[in-house]
């Protein structure tokens, strides 16, 4: 009887592990869609988030009809501290977007993000907390992929992986780097503005969120331009924004846009209408703007 019991437990464990490995994950979660204004909904969402134990790290309006709130909590920062370059996953992004006569409230899928950022924990508790606070209608943004595929993701041959970021600058120490980057982003030069800063607990690592605003000559790095080309479906992926700059040790990094954009829009076609071809100049435009802003 004991042997049969142990065998049953073992089979159940294997079945559960196989199921978990086969679960299809998507980049975003639609929390709700209802009548109202972005301003009204923003107040309600912020109250719900703080009541659920999240800290609001920053917020901004990337363009008319859209608002993004960036949150963190102890679990997010602890998991970031335990993960190499985990600072990218130290926050989650919540968006409010006008779509017709409704306002859509959505957020990044913590479990999906934990895998594309190769983090130690899968942030399932954070996912539950966001769902309880804001709602959970459906995951969206792509056909989806398994955790295993997400951890090895790149868009296609020759495109960057998570562990191939852009090195933007190097300073003498972490302290010098984080202070310099904070000050430079606050100056709002090159169309790059600071949205938030989160320091990873117990680790010399900080993540900054940045708003990107281009002009006629630099439109390819502009948040509004990029999203107008790729965020064309009925349910909006505004929580793709803002972009990140990571200070890790004495170096300053950013995920290259061919990876950073692709993880949120992995099904986007290479060519044609609403494709990567239309933003072909964006990856270098973003890298150059960030580098000019944070370089020593």
Sequence-distant (≥ 6) Cβ neighbours of residue 141 within 8 angstroms = 26, 27, 28, 235, 237, 264, 265
Average pLDDT score over residue span 265-279: 92
Taking only the tens place, the pLDDT of each residue in 116-156 is 999 999 999 999 999 999 999 999 999 999 999 999 999 99
**Separation in Å, CA 39 to CA 11, 26, 162, 170:** 51, 27, 35, 40
**Is it the case that residue 36 has pLDDT exceeding 80?**
yes
pLDDT at residue 2, rounded to an integer: 46
**H-helix or E-strand spanning residue 185:** helix 174-186
Taking only the tens place, the pLDDT of each residue in 44-79 is 999 999 999 999 999 999 999 999 999 999 999 999
Taking only the tens place, the pLDDT of each residue in 252-266 is 999 999 999 999 999
Taking only the tens place, the pLDDT of each residue in 190-231 is 999 999 999 999 999 999 999 999 988 899 999 999 999 999
pLDDT at residue 11, rounded to an integer: 41
**Is it the case that residue 235 has pLDDT exceeding 70?**
yes
**What is residue 42's three-state secondary structure?**
helix
Taking only the tens place, the pLDDT of each residue in 81-122 is 999 999 999 999 999 999 999 999 999 999 999 999 999 999
Which CATH number is correct for 24-294, 3.40.50.800, 3.50.50.60, 3.60.40.10, 3.30.310.70?
A: 3.30.310.70
Is 0.85 surpassed by the pTM of this model?
yes
Give 170's Cβ-side CA count (13 Å radius): 2
pLDDT at residue 260, rounded to an integer: 98
Average pLDDT score over residue span 5-13: 42
> Do residues 120 and 86 lie in contact, with contact meaning Cβ atoms separated by under 8 Å?
yes
Q: Where are the domains of the chain?
A: 24-294
Average pLDDT score over residue span 150-169: 97
Residue corresponding to tokens 């000559």? 217
> Do residues 140 and 236 lie in contact, with contact meaning Cβ atoms separated by under 8 Å?
no
φ/ψ of 61, rounded to 5, equals -110, 100
């Amino acid at each position: 009887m004991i042997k049969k019991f142990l065998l049953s437990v073992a089979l159940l464990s294997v079945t559960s592990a196989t199921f978990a490995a086969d679960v299809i994950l998507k980049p975003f979660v639609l929390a709700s869609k209802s009548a109202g204004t972005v301003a009204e909904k923003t107040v309600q969402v912020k109250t719900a988030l703080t009541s659920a134990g999240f800290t609001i790290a920053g917020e901004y309006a990337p363009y008319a009809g859209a608002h993004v709130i960036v949150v963190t909590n102890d679990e997010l920062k602890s998991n970031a501290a335990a993960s190499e370059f985990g600072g990218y996953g130290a926050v989650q992004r919540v968006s409010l977007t006008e779509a017709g006569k409704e306002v859509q409230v959505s957020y990044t899928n913590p479990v999906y993000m934990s895998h594309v950022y190769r983090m130690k924990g899968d942030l399932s508790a954070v996912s539950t907390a966001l769902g309880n606070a804001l709602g959970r209608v459906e995951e969206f943004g792509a056909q989806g992929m398994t955790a295993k595929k997400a951890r090895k993701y790149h868009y296609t041959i020759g495109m960057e992986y998570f562990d191939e970021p852009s090195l933007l600058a190097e300073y003498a120490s972490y302290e010098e780097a984080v202070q310099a980057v904070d000050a430079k982003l606050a100056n709002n030069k090159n169309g790059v503005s600071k949205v938030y800063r989160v320091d990873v607990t117990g680790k010399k690592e900080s993540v900054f969120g940045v708003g990107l605003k281009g002009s006629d000559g630099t439109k390819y790095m502009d948040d509004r331009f990029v999203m107008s080309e790729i965020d064309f479906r009925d349910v909006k992926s505004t929580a793709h924004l803002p972009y990140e700059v990571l200070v890790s040790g004495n170096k300053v990094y950013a995920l290259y846009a061919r990876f950073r954009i692709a993880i949120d829009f992995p099904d986007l076609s290479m060519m044609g209408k609403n494709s990567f071809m239309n933003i072909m100049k964006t990856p270098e435009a973003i890298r150059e703007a960030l580098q000019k802003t944070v370089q020593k």
